[in-house]
Amino acid sequence: MIRRPRRSTPSALVALVLLAACAFVAVVLIQRLIGERPWLSYETAASRVHATAWQDLPVLIGGGAAVVIGLLLLFAAILPGRPTVLPLVSGADHVDTGATRTSLRTSLRGAVASVDGVSSAKVKLGRKKVVAKVGTNRTTTDGMADAVREAVGKRLDEVAPLTRPRVRVRVSSAREPK
């Protein structure tokens, strides 16, 4: 079970552009029906379109832009996004289980923060690795990275993700000797 995010941003942008175009056309038609001067005259637009050839630069630029935007939207729809729910090892009942990225990151950050000497902890959860940035007030950081790596490893064993990520630890000390 891998749930992926919806592509709401590209679809919302397309919907807003189409809504704006439809509203503009509706306003121009209503202005024309009630006898007011429309924002865009039909006669002016029609004569300009009929005078434009397929080889003209504005047509080629507009067509190229439409193709590029279409391909970007197509790739946004087809390419998989970052999973929002990560699969966990199923139990004896073969029940699909999962954990959200946020909950897993929070759990790992709690494991890192529980290590003795850690004053600040940031955890970044990638596709295949976990990066823990640890701050400490100690003057020496000997063994700190190993202790954090062990704590994260224990927590990953408890959570049991289907694919176990690699663990990288970066330790920085506020009191490093210079």
**95 and 151 assigned to the same domain:** yes
The answer to whether residue 148 is domain-embedded is: yes
Q: What's the pLDDT at 83?
A: 72
The single residue listed with the structure tokens 């902890």 is: 121
Same domain? For 41 and 116 the reply is no
**Bridge-partner residues for 136, per DSSP?**
118, 173
CA atoms of 163 and 178, how far apart (whole Å): 41
Q: Using one digit for the tens of pLDDT, what is the confidence trace for 98-142?
A: 888 888 899 999 998 888 888 888 999 887 898 999 988 888 778
Taking CA atoms, 31 is separated from 19, 23, 37, 38, in Å, by: 18, 12, 7, 5
CA 67, CA 52: separation in Å to the nearest integer? 20
Last residue within a domain, chosen from 35, 53, 78: 78
For the packed helices 57-78 and 8-33, what is the interaxial angle rounded to 10 degrees? 140
Residues 111 and 40 occupy one common structural domain: no
The answer on 101 and 52 residing in a single domain is: no
Between the alpha carbon of residue 57 and those of residues 50, 60, 69, 105, the distances in Å are: 15, 5, 18, 51
Same domain, yes or no: 97 and 163: yes
- Domain carrying residue 147: 85-173
In-domain check, residue 13: yes
Find tokens 């003057």 and name the residue: 139
Residues 94 and 161 in one domain: yes
- My answer on whether 91 and 169 are in the same domain is yes
One domain for residues 100 and 146: yes
Mean pLDDT of 10-29: 91
pLDDT tens for each residue of 61-98: 999 999 999 898 888 878 777 777 777 877 666 677 78
Q: Is residue 2 part of a domain?
A: no
Domain annotation covers residue 132: yes
Spatial separation of the C-alpha atoms in residues 139 and 142, rounded to whole Å: 9
State how far the alpha carbon of 89 is from the alpha carbons of 1, 3, 96, in Å: 10, 15, 8
The model's confidence at residue 45, banded by pLDDT at 50, 70 and 90, is: confident
Q: Say if residue 91 is in the same domain as residue 71.
A: no
Are 94 and 128 within one domain?
yes
User: CA-CA distance, 49 to 138, in Å (whole number)?
Assistant: 73
Query: Each residue of 142-178: pLDDT tens digit?
Result: 888 888 899 988 998 888 888 888 989 898 887 655 4
Domain boundary among 54, 78, 102: 78
Domain boundary among 78, 102, 131: 78
* Within-domain flag for 50: yes
Taken as a whole, the chain contains a residue count of: 178
Q: Which of 130, 128, 169, 131 is nearest to 149 (CA)?
A: 169
Q: Report the chain's mean pLDDT, rounded to a whole number.
A: 85
Q: How many domains does the chain have?
A: 2
Does one domain contain both 96 and 74?
no
Q: Do both 74 and 97 map to the same domain?
A: no
